[in-house]
Structure 1
Amino acid sequence: MKFIETKLKGCFILEPKIIKDERGYFMESFNEKTFQEGVGQHVNFVQDNQSFSSKGVLRGLHYQTGEHAQAKLVRVLQGEVLDVAVDIRPDSPTYGQYESVLLSGENQRQFFVPRGFAHGFLVLSETATFFYKCDNFYNKESEGGVIFNDPTINVNWNFSEEELIISEKDKVLPKLENAKKVW
């Protein structure tokens, strides 16, 4: 497994070693020891989540606050998404900056989003099955979010807003300056 640290300290793109032959392929998608060595921290994943979405669905930008903050290891099992992490750590030199990565069932890349980041994704293929591990349990009272089109973050989603399918809840998320503090 290859670990590529992004410009946002603590966020990593993971590229697995894929062994292909006439039968198909094999890869190790997660190994606790390799993962912890690769990201340089101890992360204990406690919950797995999966979603299925259609082209143009944008989910995010979401996070959990305080003691319920979550780190996520995300990947796409089928389809293709643009995955985005936004640094919302108040004292970070990259506060308000984002990193995006193309994840697909074909490239098998994964993206590690540590605690202190908002996260979201946009489905680029006709459909996509999205899978992620969390290091903390979901807590409704600790939900936080930032509107997908916050001009101070300026995420380039590469889609026109008219083409996006966004939940009513996500359409009314605040700008970063008015969002709940992550801690």
Structure 2
Amino acid sequence: MTDAASPPAGPIYLDDLAVGQETYFGSCQVSRDEVIAFAERYDPQPFHLSDEAAAKTHFGRLAASGWHTCAMTMGVIARHVVATGQAGLGSPGIDELRWLKPVYPGDTLHVSATIVEVRPSRSKPEIGSFRSGTVVTNQDGVPVLTFTSIVLMRRRPAGEQREA
């Protein structure tokens, strides 16, 4: 398992990945102010903006937008990718996005993923893609978000060895 606190040496290329490889990307705190600010701008539904309105719903209290949960998750993943020097080239999308449980101010989100496919490109030998099952859990270990990501990544340049 790769840990966000101890990144591997040197850039990580597609060739360094294997099916079954697990990565813990890190965690983030969910703040009340950020939940409201995100909702005001991007998802202004009452249960994301007001304790009183949320109390009248199945949420029971102010809940983060699912899209905010996705954005926080992306922040955790992107910081890890930059810190580890991954040779990523972006993503053509995600599959099977599911919001499983509400996320509340005060929660701590933990982000991890398991690689389910690694595929060199047939038409562009310098790149390829991988798919991974991403799971976001709260501080109690309860999954709150899952999705399958598809990531484009450079392959190791010819003649370059992986740093130890």
Name the TM-score class by shorter chain.
under 0.3
TM-score (norm 1): 0.21
- Bigger Rg, structure 1 or 2: 2
Q: Which structure carries more helix by proportion?
A: 2
TM-score (norm 2): 0.23
Q: Which structure carries more strand by proportion?
A: 1
